[in-house]
Amino acid sequence: MNASHPIPGSHRMSHRGFSLIEVTIALGVVAFALVAIIGVLPMGLNSVRHSGSILQADVMARDLISTLRTRPDYQTLLSEFPLPDLTSDSLVLPNTNRVFITENGLVSANPENAAFAAEYTITRDVDSDRILYVHLQLAWPPQGATNSRQSTEITSAVLLP
């Protein structure tokens, strides 16, 4: 008879395993960790959404300013954004306008459909009639209290032909 293999029923077999208390504590630790991870998830998603809005607004603002710098007489973009003709004699300065823009970059007459509120101010340089300063601010959400909105701003000098 082999001594290393006990015979069933001849003496007690040794079974190793986890007790019910150990399993319960392990499940409690795992549940606590999962609740903590799930609780942090919405903050991460809000941060990603916020970063996307900042990036989109910044790209849109730089594109509009770039268009005005390269073509000061350009009155509309493909998206129908009502850029002023900076070379026009009828341009009254300072000039402040507010426009609502959708997520696609299209102008919206209805602020409910808009993702951004764009406001630009145009002023003339005190020393030269050929230099205009354009200050553009894109804010989101387009409506609401000013202190709860977020915005990106850009200012640029435009040299007129």
Rounded to whole angstroms, the Cα distance separating 44 from 14 reads 50
Residue 14's region, left for phi above 0, alpha for psi from -120 to 50, else beta, is: beta
| Cβ within 8 Å of residue 64, ≥6 positions away | 77, 81, 83, 118, 120, 136
The pLDDT, as a whole number, for residue 26 is 95
pLDDT at 78 over 50: no
The H-or-E segment that residue 124 falls in is: strand 116-124
Rounded to whole angstroms, the Cα distance separating 100 from 111 reads 6
Residue pair 119/128 in contact (Cβ under 8 Å)? The answer is no
**DSSP state, 7?**
P
pLDDT at 23 over 90: yes
Taking only the tens place, the pLDDT of each residue in 110-128 is 888 888 888 888 888 888 8
Give the domain ranges of the chain. 35-159
Mean predicted confidence (pLDDT) in 46-63: 82
The pLDDT, as a whole number, for residue 22 is 92
